[in-house]
Structure 1
């Protein structure tokens, strides 16, 4: 399988390296799985003769005019991580030129994938219009604002949609590479994941910080502050509207526009965030935690946590990255 990694100037170092390393490990392990397993021929291409990563390292690339037509093209993240710097980066000429190339490749049947802020480069081509996609969870408000025609599901880690595949934030580059490997050999993908110490993960929800999203809009922020004081109480849209100084309709429309959720759904996300925090920082049992975040019993909370995060309570008890 011929894979091109389209690296733009100031590419996110970790994203580019992760794609290269994961695919290289898969190639190293392929013979132990099946002598006939697909090998991945990976070429780093770019729109210029030379590019630098966001940390200033020079990356050797192959000019697009000299490269063979690929089966897959992957777009790693740009080094710009915040909305303001990302919007400036998307205006660059090399990014616009990359968009023309992506439209050409997609038209020829090439599978196009992107991760993290690379999803914005892909979405800027209009190729994702009417399709489902994911992106970095903290950039979801900006993505919705720029690309209202894309069905954004930012809680998902990887989403494929008829010729396109998008992955979530930062280290979701690994999930993107494993998704691609899995298409050729599920066994090889599982072995590669074991070597990388990566467990299956379908959701970004466990990593997301809801109040970070709310800061994109003052009304949403007021709602978030009100909601956090009432997580153990029944939800009332009328009370929320009064507390935030808006109408129920305005509040609902604003939340949908900024975070892609109804007020009740966002309220439940805050409950989930609080429940996960309590699971990781207290010895309270699940029934006690359920009562603290407004649910009748532990069974209801267990079901909601699995649906929202894709993980059982036992896994959520363990803090990520070994934090105390």
Structure 2
């Protein structure tokens, strides 16, 4: 499988190297297993002959014009973790000049993938329009505002949509690399996962920090503060809108536009975050249920299992 990594100045070092290390490990293990040839041929390409990573390392790359037809083009993350800086970075000439090549590759039937902030480069090229995708959860509100035609689900770690695959935040590069190895040979992927201690993570939901996302919008930030003050009272959209001096439909639309979820779903996220905190402090389940607005612990158990995939016992074990 021929893999082309499209890299730019200030590429996120870990993202680029974890891809390279995973494919190199897969090739080494394949040789030990008696494969006739390495399953992965990896080439670094870019708009310049050399790029400088975010940590200042100088890396030589092949020019875009010299690339043999790859099976996959992969875009690692850029090191721009704040929306304002990312917006500026995406306007750089080296990135803008590479977008037509991404469009050409995709139009030619070549598979395209990206992880973390690299997904923004795909979206800038337009090839994600109308497609399903994920991205780094921390910039999901900015992604939704900038690319409203993309069907974003930032709770998922890996999203496959036709010939495009996107992966989630930072170490999502590792999940993407293993997905690609598995796509080539599942047996080898299982071996790589064991050697590199890669756990299967189908969701980013456990890692999302709700109040971080809320700060992306003034109204949502106010709603987040109201919700935290009213966790023990339960949720009422009417009461929330009245407290914020907006119409309930305005709050509903704004929450869905910024967070990709309803006000109630965001309130539930805050309940879970608070419940996890109280579990870590050793509180009993009835006390936790009361703190997050439930009359009985059974309802809380149901919420935790639906949102986290496990109950309080497993949650306590995680925190030991």
Do both share a fold (TM > 0.5)?
A: yes
Residue 166 of structure 1 is matched in structure 2 by: 166
Cα gap change, 1:9 to 1:36, in 2 (>3 Å): same
Check whether the contact 2:13–2:54 (CA below 8 A) recurs between aligned residues: yes
Residue 219 of structure 2 is matched in structure 1 by: 219
CA distance in 2, matches of 1:299, 1:30: 49
CA displacement 1:249-301 (0-9 Å, x = unmatched): 1111111111111111111111111222223x222344543343234555544
**How many residues get paired?**
320
Q: What pairs with 1:80-229 in structure 2 (closer than 5 Å)?
A: 80-229=80-229
CA distance in 2, matches of 1:310, 1:34: 39
Q: Secondary structure at the match of 1:160?
A: strand
Residue 290 of structure 1 is matched in structure 2 by: 289
TM-score, structure 1 as length reference:
0.92
CA displacement 1:215-269 (0-9 Å, x = unmatched): 1111111110011122232211110001111110111111111111111111111
Cα gap change, 1:156 to 1:37, in 2 (>3 Å): farther
CA distance in 1, matches of 2:209, 2:267: 13
CA displacement 1:104-149 (0-9 Å, x = unmatched): 1111111100011100000011111111111111101110111000
Q: Give 5+ residue unaligned stretches, structure 2.
A: none
Q: Secondary structure at the match of 2:250?
A: helix
| Cα drift, residue 62 of structure 1 | 1.2
Q: Secondary structure at the match of 2:208?
A: coil
CA distance in 1, matches of 2:60, 2:263: 48
Q: Secondary structure at the match of 1:42?
A: strand
Residue 317 of structure 1 is matched in structure 2 by: 316
Residue 23 of structure 1 is matched in structure 2 by: 23
Q: Give 5+ residue unaligned stretches, structure 1.
A: none
Q: Secondary structure at the match of 2:159?
A: strand
CA distance in 2, matches of 1:302, 1:182: 35
- The answer to whether 1:234 aligns with 2:234 is yes
Cα gap change, 1:36 to 1:318, in 2 (>3 Å): farther
Q: CA RMSD in A?
A: 2.0
CA displacement 1:161-211 (0-9 Å, x = unmatched): 000011111111000111111112222222212222221111111111111
